Amino acid sequence: MLVLAATPLGDARDASPRLREALATADVVAAEDTRRIRALAAALDVTITGKIVSHFDSVEIARMPRLLETVREGGTVLVVTDAGMPSVSDPGFRLAAAAAAEDLPMTCLPGPSAVTTALVLSGLPCDRFCFEGFAPRKDGERRRFFTQLAAEPRTAVFFESPHRLADTLRIGAEILGPDRAAAVCRELTKTYEEVRRGSLPELADWADAGVKGEITVVLAGAASTGAPSLESLVGAVQERVADGERLKAAAAEVAKAAGVSTRELYNAVLQSP
């Protein structure tokens, strides 16, 4: 059987009894970082008896044939990442998809997740939400990222690196407006856990001073009172044009994502200095 198991975000006490048992009995433990899984096993006073292999993004495809073969032969392969749930912005998806395609036996040991932990701590609506993975690195792509969320009514959750956080929040405020609420969750379940809530500009000002650790951002959904202003979307169109897109195509894509008139946005861009 292929077993995908959630591991603690920071506090080893969050490990489930089923994870302890799986670590002790699996024939193969495929770990994002072999050193970290050995450290976790030591903290849990568990002896890993199976073979430990590295299973990070750049080797996942190369490892796949042998891991699938182990399952076909009746062995148990345990997939774990550094923290949280495999496949959720972490290695594991390709292997799980391949196992599902062959209808091989597969299960998941539920447990810690930065996505749902941050969501419930944010104080923002949790009844409907979307997960957006990691925010894009490049400025233009980040603008497109927020433009696509401009009309999204659900609460959005995404990951960001600490050194890009302030810039990302500021771009978000520019695209979504200064009143959009958000929460920044840092070092969840660890000693220095911190949750900051406020508007995007307020959080950007706070992040300017420097932030460390693992970051999860929770963004309030769009209010149902109307679409974002054309002025807030002009910059996103201009960024796409600067990247080589035709103006009409860029305006159409941004307008569609934001729920505004393509013609009105196109004209607004033409009139912009």
Residue, of 45 and 226, whose pLDDT is higher: 45
Is there a single domain that holds both residue 103 and residue 8? yes
The verdict on residue 201 lying in a domain is: yes
Share of the chain above pLDDT 90, in %: 81
Sheet (strand 181-186) strand order: 129-134, 155-160, 215-219, 181-186, 194-199
Residues 213 and 264 in one domain: no
102 shares its domain with 69 = yes
Residue 143 within any structural domain of the chain: yes
pLDDT for the residue numbered 272: 84
pLDDT, residue 227, reads 61
Mean pLDDT (the chain) is 93
Whether pLDDT at 15 is above 90 = yes
CATH number of the domain within which 180 lies = 3.30.950.10
Q: Are residue 180 and residue 102 in the same domain, yes or no?
A: no
| Domain shared by 107 and 119, yes or no | no
Domain count, the chain: 3
**What is the per-residue pLDDT across 38-57, written as a single tens digit (0 to 9) for each?**
999 999 999 999 999 999 99
Q: Do residues 172 and 197 both lie within one domain?
A: yes
Residues 81 and 125 occupy one common structural domain: no
- The pTM of the full predicted model, rounded to 2 decimals, is 0.80
Per-residue pLDDT band for 232 (boundaries 50, 70, 90) equals confident
The band of 231, judged by pLDDT with boundaries at 50, 70 and 90, is confident
Q: Do residue 241 and residue 267 come from a single domain?
A: yes
**Strands ordered across the beta sheet of 106-109:** 51-54, 28-31, 77-80, 2-5, 106-109
Looking at the structure, tell me whether residues 101 and 15 fall in a common domain: yes
Co-location of 96 and 184 in the same domain: no
Residues 149 and 56 in one domain: no
Residues 139 and 189 in one domain: yes
Q: Is residue 260 part of a domain?
A: yes
Domain that holds residue 262: 230-271
pLDDT of 70 strictly over 90? yes
Model confidence pLDDT, tens digit, residues 134-143: 999 998 899 9
Q: Residue range 21-28: average pLDDT?
A: 98
What is the CATH number for 38? 3.40.1010.10
